[in-house]
Chains A and B, each alone.
Chain A
């Protein structure tokens, strides 16, 4: 059963259609990534799902409870780590999480063991007395996660949880999420503008202008790219790009650091690689798997082309 269900969810602010007939369902044990830029409608979607905003039309349910008519029951099931998640900087780690536990109505006898269990889980058990203001960015993030989990939610909503966090800390954070989702069968929605983050989700929705323009597992989305990607080494990507764009079958060429990425029409790859060999010699062109970024860009461009018809 889907723990999160949104049907034709829409919300506008003035002239801006922030969320536009969005459909979405996330099951137990699943991490769903909403991928898009600032302003694509990701945060508004989360705020509609927690009942902080009313939709103009459409509906959403959380564990079977309608978010508009059964708001309290629905909210009890939700843990929400918002982007502007604020800790009380002059309270200790334990006092911060205790505050969340009390707001969530945990009984006195329950909150302490639950909080300690979670602080241990996120690796903060030795820092209970430290003031939140003295924590590193990664530790703050972990305290935020622990606080969101304190009421044993079935649904976890994470709004750009690792923005500004370095890759090693990010990897730790993800290990925590993946482990707790597997252990407790939660359904998670996470938002991100970054593809190296998106690739860790079980399923993704690419979001643009309030709509989900493509949805699937990372592998399914990669398969949706029409054509293949060839990578080649070069010291002069800009100059080389002009040349390779003249080769028949090359649809796009983008500089990428010391490399050039070419998108080629289906079935043209071998022919193009041969021509690249004779054009450049040592550039070592080879087929690489399409990245999610390639897919996002090609879907967006074809979408834009379509909307101009």
Chain B
């Protein structure tokens, strides 16, 4: 049986004249990992605060784990875990002391559960280490342990891998996949496309509205109706301006040693683009097949 962990129905929040969240609708299945993206101030945090029952919707409703998020706040919160980007760990406490302290906040007194949580995130053996001395990756795991100690069914992660290197990030995601496979639903906000790519589905908000909500691969196909080519040339800043003037070019972005170009299908072919670029007299130009990225999707929807 697949039931929905989160159902938002016409969820709306106004602050005075300002509509922070504007009639959004979505469903998140149990065990699903959802990434939530959008520019600063787009309404992501307001949405999460409504889902956690911290803020009353002006209109619409949200059901979280079968409870009304606002009217049954206690039930919801007891079943949700939250890990913030700026998680507050006590640096002068040990790993174990931090977890025991936060577990106590949730009423977890069972040492066995505390130990299980440490095992789960791979921190067993480090119980007595001072939190101050932990690397970014280990701190992040401790923060995750704190969010997990009361066995939540829904986990909110706010930019969870800020400041963590790719190896630690992959390991972190292995854990997240394990939790999701065990039926925990995961809701993640992020600004980084590296991270969004790991999610099962990605929602994209702008100006309070939910513009898209789909699998990363589906978004790349449906939002970007074109193909990507990466252009290598000598003077990229001049080149990017010229490329933008060519008919059939949908969007460009500058990478360090390449211009990433999206061209519209049936409007211009790779060979035509190559020919036009060679005629500019800006030296040798090479095109290689590019990949459509989630960043392309984000740009296209938010611009």
Q: Which residues of A contact B (CB under 8 A)?
A: 31, 33, 36-40, 136-138, 163-171, 174-175, 178-179, 182, 193-196, 199-203, 208, 217-219, 233, 237-238, 254-259, 288-289, 293, 296-297, 300-301
Min CB distance, A221 to chain B, in Å? 11
Tell me the complex Cα distance, A256–B199, Å: 7
The answer to whether A37 touches B137 (Cβ under 8 A) is yes
Chain B residues with Cβ below 8 Å from A170 are 191
Q: Once the chains bind, are B256 and A195 in contact (CB under 8 Å)?
A: no
B72 to chain A, nearest CB (A): 31
Flag if A194 contacts B254 (CB, 8 Å): no
Tell whether, in the assembled complex, residue B40 and residue A137 are in contact, meaning their CB atoms are under 8 Å apart: yes
Closest residue to B44 on the A side, CB-wise? A166
Nearest opposing residue in chain A for B303, CB measure: A168
Q: At the interface, is chain A mostly helix, strand, loop or mixed?
A: mixed
Is B268 interfacial (CB-CB < 8 Å)?
A: no
Nearest Cβ on chain B to A27's Cβ, whole angstroms: 14
Q: Is B66's beta carbon under 8 Å from chain A?
A: no
Nearest-Cβ distance from residue B294 to partner chain A, whole angstroms: 9
A-B contact pairs, 29 of them (CB 8 A): A31-B256, A37-B136, A38-B135, A38-B136, A38-B164, A136-B40, A138-B40, A164-B40, A165-B191, A166-B39, A167-B299, A168-B302, A169-B39, A171-B253, A175-B254, A178-B237, A193-B163, A194-B194, A199-B255, A202-B257, A208-B165, A238-B177, A255-B173, A255-B174, A257-B197, A258-B215, A259-B216, A296-B167, A300-B165
Cα–Cα, bound, A257→B188 (Å): 13
Q: Which residues of A contact B166 (CB under 8 A)?
A: 195, 293, 296-297, 300
B219 CB, nearest partner CB in chain A, Å = 11
- Given the known A-B contacts A40-B165, A164-B159, A167-B298, are A200 and B40 also in contact in the complex, defined by CB atoms under 8 Å? no
Q: Which of A170, A174, A255 has the most CB atoms of chain B within a 10 A radius of its CB?
A: A255
Does B40 contact A39, Cβ atoms closer than 8 Å? no
Name the residue of chain A whose CB is nearest to the CB of B297. Answer: A167
Q: What separation, in Å, do the CA atoms of A308 and B191 have in the docked complex?
A: 36
Beyond A193-B165, A297-B170, is A167–B191 a contact (Cβ under 8 Å)?
yes
Cross-chain contact of A166 among B38, B254, B257, B291 (Cβ < 8 A): B38
Cα separation A40 to B166 with both chains bound (whole Å): 12
Indicate whether B200 reaches chain A with its CB closer than 8 angstroms: yes
- Does B193 reach chain A (CB closer than 8 Å)? yes
Chain B residues positioned under 8 Å from A182 (CB to CB): 235-237
Q: Which residues of A contact B191 (CB under 8 A)?
A: 164-167, 170
Known: A31-B256, A178-B236, A289-B291. A196 touches B192 (CB 8 A): yes
On whether the beta carbons of A194 and B192 are closer than 8 Å, the reply is yes
Chain B residues bordering chain A, tally (CB within 8 A): 51
| A165-B40, A167-B193, A218-B256 given; A257·B199 CB < 8 A | yes
Q: Are A201 and B256 in contact (CB under 8 A)?
A: yes
A171 & B237 in contact (Cβ 8 Å cutoff): no
- Among B185-211, those with CB < 8 Å from A are 191-194, 197-200
* Cβ contacts under 8 Å, B192 to chain A: 194, 196
11 extra A-B contacts, CB within 8 A, seeds A182-B237, A200-B254, A238-B178:
A37-B168, A38-B163, A136-B40, A166-B38, A171-B295, A193-B162, A196-B192, A218-B255, A238-B177, A254-B170, A300-B166
Q: Which residues of A have CB within 8 Å of B162? A: 163-164, 193
Most A Cβ at <10 Å: residue of B165, B199, B293: B165
Contact assessment for B177 and A219 in the assembled complex, using a CB-CB cutoff below 8 Å:
no
Q: Which of B255-293 contact A (CB under 8 A)?
A: 255-257, 291, 293
Q: How far is the CA of A186 from the CA of B260 in the complex (A)?
A: 23
- Name the residue of chain A whose CB is nearest to the CB of B162: A163
Residues of A within 8 A of B167 (CB): 296-297, 300-301
- Quick check: B193 and A196 within 8 Å, CB to CB? yes
In the complex, which residue of chain B has the Cβ closest to the Cβ of A289? B291
Complex Cα distance A218/B254, Å?
A: 13
- Inter-chain contact B254/A178, CB cutoff 8 Å: yes
Task: Enumerate chain B residues within 8 angstroms of A164, measured Cβ to Cβ.
Answer: 40, 85, 159, 162, 191
B163 touching A37, Cβ below 8 Å:
yes
- Bound-state CA distance A196–B39 (Å) is 16
Q: Mark B135-147, 1 if CB is under 8 A from A, else 0.
A: 1110000000000
- Nearest A residue to B39 via CB reads A166
